[in-house]
Amino acid sequence: GENVEQHPSTLSVQEGDSAVIKCTYSDSASNYFPWYKQELGKRPQLIIDIRSNVGEKKDQRIAVTLNKTAKHFSLHITETQPEDSAVYFCAASLGKAAGNKLTFGGGTRVLVKP
């Protein structure tokens, strides 16, 4: 089955700096890659996603890049703010062919220092 590796496991940045989280996946047939933000004790919230026919997607301070050849994708957060502090998860899906199941990375705990 699909395997998703996520790095780093923890990331501390100064407010205003950028944060980058990287994920690799094993199954080249994966075609959907969402990113979730989870605050303590809360449900994961989708913050951005990208499909395999796109190389990059941006939404205000958040961007995601996908390299299908290398099977990796990254989340970029610019101008970080204290409220960006949370755990971020990447995920990969094989789509309808696999029942739309998501395989999650191990998570990255991001701390933005004011």
Partner 1 sequence: GAVVSQHPSRVICKSGTSVKIECRSLDFQATTMFWYRQFPKQSLMLMATSNEGSKATYEQGVEKDKFLINHASLTLSTLTVTSAHPEDSSFYICSAPVGRGLDTFGSGTRLTVV
For tokens 């605050």, the residue is 39
Q: How far is residue 65's CA from residue 41's CA, in Å, rounded to a whole number?
A: 28
| Residue 113 makes contact with partner 1 by CB under 8 A | no
| Residue 16 makes contact with partner 1 by CB under 8 A | no
Residues pairing with 48 in the sheet = 35
From candidates 73, 105, 110, 112, binder to partner 1 by CB under 8 A: 105
Q: What are the φ/ψ torsions at residue 12 (nearest 5 degrees)?
A: -115, 125
- From residue 24 to residue 63, the character string flagging contacts with partner 1 as x (rule: CB under 8 A) and all else as - is --------x-x------xxxxxx--x-x------------
Helix (H, G, I), strand (E, B) or coil at 81: coil
| Residue 7 makes contact with partner 1 by CB under 8 A | no
- Are the CB atoms for 7 and 22 separated by under 8 Å? yes
Closer to partner 1 at the Cβ: 34 or 84?
A: 34
Both structure tokens of 43: 């449900």
Which residues sit at the interface with partner 1, rule CB under 8 A? 32, 34, 41-46, 49, 51, 89, 93, 95, 99-107, 109
